[in-house]
Amino acid sequence: MSGDNFNRFAKLYDVFIHARDRLVWSEELRKNKQHFLVDLGGGTGRLVPHFLELAERVVLADHSFKMLQVSQYAYESRIDRVCCDLIHLPFKKDLNANFVLVDTIHHLYNPKPILEKISGWICNQNRLLIEEPDIHYFSIKVIAVMERVLGMKSSFYTKEEILAWFPGTQFKIDAQQDGANFYLIVQQK
């Protein structure tokens, strides 16, 4: 298993973690619309309404079967659910898709090899968007403690740590701050 298992939280997840009204980075993906948008660690699909505006089909990929099962979008015709460990993603190399990891990396036990695998799909027009909580903020430090209390093994990484995992010779990365979160848009040079 590549990260925290949310099976025990599945039925309550959407009660406590709400979808946002807007995604500040969505315009970046809208400008580069692909047939697929793959939400890695997408769980219950709380961001699906936004993603349906950015692609013809949305793939929720998560290793928690129960999170995928309780998704209110489970039977939406443009949504596909894939239960898999993120290190073993079942996609072809020539998939035309944008990939997103929103609030996911800090739940992965060893994110670097997973990002190395995902970076293999970042070619041509494909993009990878990463959004993570910024551990430099006090509110995020409180969340980190709460996640530990709940038994999660979360490791919050700084923007600089994540940037170091991508070879600068291969990728162009736009890094932005949005309140207590940062986001990175990764594309091929």
pTM of structure: 0.89
Question: Could you tell me if residue 1 is inside a domain?
Answer: no
The lowest-confidence range among 1-15, 37-51, 124-138, 150-164 is 1-15
Question: Could you tell me if residue 29 is inside a domain?
Answer: yes
Is 46:6 a contact under the CB 8 Å cutoff?
Answer: no
The percentage of residues in the chain with a pLDDT greater than 90, rounded to a whole number, is 41
Q: What is the total count of domains within the chain?
A: 1
Average model confidence (pLDDT) across the chain: 85
What confidence score (pLDDT) does residue 12 get? 53
pLDDT at 93 over 60: yes
What confidence score (pLDDT) does residue 5 get? 58
Question: Could you tell me if residue 2 is inside a domain?
Answer: no
pLDDT at 8 over 70: no
The residue-averaged pLDDT of 166-179 equals 89
What confidence score (pLDDT) does residue 142 get? 93
- Neighbouring C-beta atoms of residue 114, cutoff 10 Å: 24
Question: DSSP letter at 129?
Answer: E
pLDDT at 73 over 60: yes
Structural domain boundaries enclosing 54:
7-188
The residue-averaged pLDDT of 29-34 equals 89
CATH number, position 74? 3.40.50.150
Take residue 147 and report the two structure tokens written for it.
């996640």
Residues 6+ positions from 3 with CB-CB distance below 8 Å: 41, 63, 86, 104, 107, 108, 109
Please count the residues of the chain. 189
Question: Could you tell me if residue 49 is inside a domain?
Answer: yes
pLDDT 10s digits, 101-154: 998 898 888 899 999 889 888 988 899 999 999 999 999 999 899 888 877 788
**Which DSSP string corresponds to 67-107?**
HHHT-TTTT-TTEEEEE--GGG----TT--EEEEEES-GGG
pLDDT at 15 over 80: no
